[in-house]
Amino acid sequence: MSEENVEQVEKWFEKYDDDYERFDKSENKLHECRQISGLLFMASKLNKDNKDTKWFIGGDHDVIYIGENMSVFDDFTEEDVIMALNHGINWTDEGFQMMASL
């Protein structure tokens, strides 16, 4: 993900915040389980040079952090951000995160 795209992604996450965990709105479910679908989606956004990169970078109580270095991901579109939010994937200063609780 380029630096310019990171800045745009931050803006889109703020703009579409109301779509957080709206899995019912997602048109492109990769699995019926929201969390599995979300992880499959994030894996699909890994760029070709980083398919073997370990992209789960850690976790806290009920939170999984995804993508220590945003360069492992292809650029996100506005639709990608909406899909991530629908799947419960959020953006923080530390990168992407997903709640791990069911």
* pTM for the structure as a whole: 0.84
Mean pLDDT of the chain: 84
Q: Name the phi and psi angles at 66, rounded to 5.
A: -120, 125
| β-pairing verdict for 89-92 and 95-99 | antiparallel
Q: Are 72 and 89 in contact (CB under 8 A)?
A: no
pLDDT digits (tens, 9 = 90+) for 49-82: 766 666 666 677 788 888 766 777 888 899 999 9
